[in-house]
Amino acid sequence: MLLAALAPLVVLVSSARGEARIPVRLDPVSGPVLSAPQLLPALEARASMGAGWAEVVVAGKSFRFYLDAALLAVDGEVYPLVGSAVVRRDTLLLPIQFVTEILPRTLAGRFRYDARLARLTDGAPAVVAARAPARDPNRLPNGLRKGHVVTIDAGHGGVDPGNPGLYFPDGLREKDVTLDLSLLLRDELRRRGVGVVMTRQTDTLIDLRQRGGYCTAECDLFVSIHVNSLPRRAGFSRIRGFETYFLAEAKTEDAARVARMENEAIRFEGSEDSAEPGGGLEFILKDLQLNEHLRESARAAELVQSYLQEAHTGPDLGVKQAGFMVLTTARRPAILIETGFSTNAEDAKLLTGHASQKNLAASIADAIVSYLLEYERKVGQGPVSATSITGTTRQ
Ligand SMILES: [Zn+2]
């Protein structure tokens, strides 16, 4: 019996192709699970989905999981599982038992699992390796192609403190916490082989309209990090949770409020035309209706929300859309994460504790890696193309 408490935090998949670290996620229904988009490339496996089932093929052998039922069919035999395969936000999650027991048992000649090291060793014999695609020197052990770059934008800074951080300790304000989280996210991404450009690394103000310019043609994704807050009114301090935005016209009054609050920073910025962002913003929003990056941005936002559930103790407030100035200038897929509420004591504690900050950053980094893997597959495994929008002007 595999108990959730005994599940490792990370499973290593070690093979002649390299070593991949697959984070173990805890699904509220299924227990410890591994994300198929992360696991399968490491096994050179593929998956297909049907109504109520998911089939994974490893080394020519078919494993048919029944979704939401803890059963697995292999070679016409049905095995009971401790937890079921599930789909959460379009991502297939497989019970960890697949790696710890099923593969070593059914493909004993190829797989060995060491529970002490939480390591699955894939000893693919030479003949199998010869038929498999040659190891690509441009690919990282986690399956990603080398050379991805993500721009991280720590919200606010310098004379713009962001929100006052009502429940933050030690006089910390939003700009301090966004910087902490952004620096940790930078480290987590680099550890995963993803290049990072920061809009700021110190307590300094960068014009909202220039931040997107840090995400150039080589940049895969622009990620702006913020902390939400609510004005004082009855029950305001009870609201907590995390939400991720992509740029489009606001659909709800609350989304519009958050965008207005984040766009406020424009008043700290010197130039004459900065007082009236409205007209320009509307124009850019219309332009972006045709923008192919919207779908990518929405998908990245979904994955961030999905992965943050592991590290965040507050509710998942979902993917939202609104007109953020900072996102209008990024000519690549762009998202803005409101990581929690400084006006809620529990969120404030989560956002300022070092261990929980690290967990949040690691989850966001995992989500970004998932997004990049998905994007690579969508464009046919080829190098990620830096499609630019015609008529791009920056600054
Ligand atoms: Zn903010």
The answer, yes or no, to whether residue 126 has pLDDT greater than 50, is no
Instruction: Give pLDDT, residue 328.
Output: 78
Q: From CA 258, how far away is CA 244, in angstroms rounded? A: 11
Angle between helices 345-352 and 354-378 (to 10 degrees): 80
Mean of pLDDT values over 378-395: 43
Please give the single-letter amino acid code of residue 174. E
Mean of pLDDT values over 117-140: 69
The answer, yes or no, to whether residue 125 has pLDDT greater than 80, is no
For ligand 1, the distance from its centroid to the CA atom of residue 224, given in whole angstroms, is: 9
Give every CB contact of residue 339 below 8 A, 6+ residues apart in sequence: 177, 181, 225, 226, 227, 228, 242, 308, 312, 351, 360
For ligand 1, the distance from its centroid to the CA atom of residue 359, given in whole angstroms, is: 20
- And the tokens for 79? 């095995």
For ligand 1, the distance from its centroid to the CA atom of residue 331, given in whole angstroms, is: 21
For ligand 1, the distance from its centroid to the CA atom of residue 289, given in whole angstroms, is: 24
The answer, yes or no, to whether residue 276 has pLDDT greater than 50, is no
Instruction: Give pLDDT, residue 395.
Output: 31
Tell me if the pTM is above 0.85: no
For ligand 1, the distance from its centroid to the CA atom of residue 387, given in whole angstroms, is: 29
The residue with tokens 């999650």 is 93
Q: From CA 317, how far away is CA 364, in angstroms rounded? A: 16
For ligand 1, the distance from its centroid to the CA atom of residue 310, given in whole angstroms, is: 23
The answer, yes or no, to whether residue 278 has pLDDT greater than 60, is no
pLDDT digits (tens, 9 = 90+) for 354-374: 999 999 999 999 999 999 999
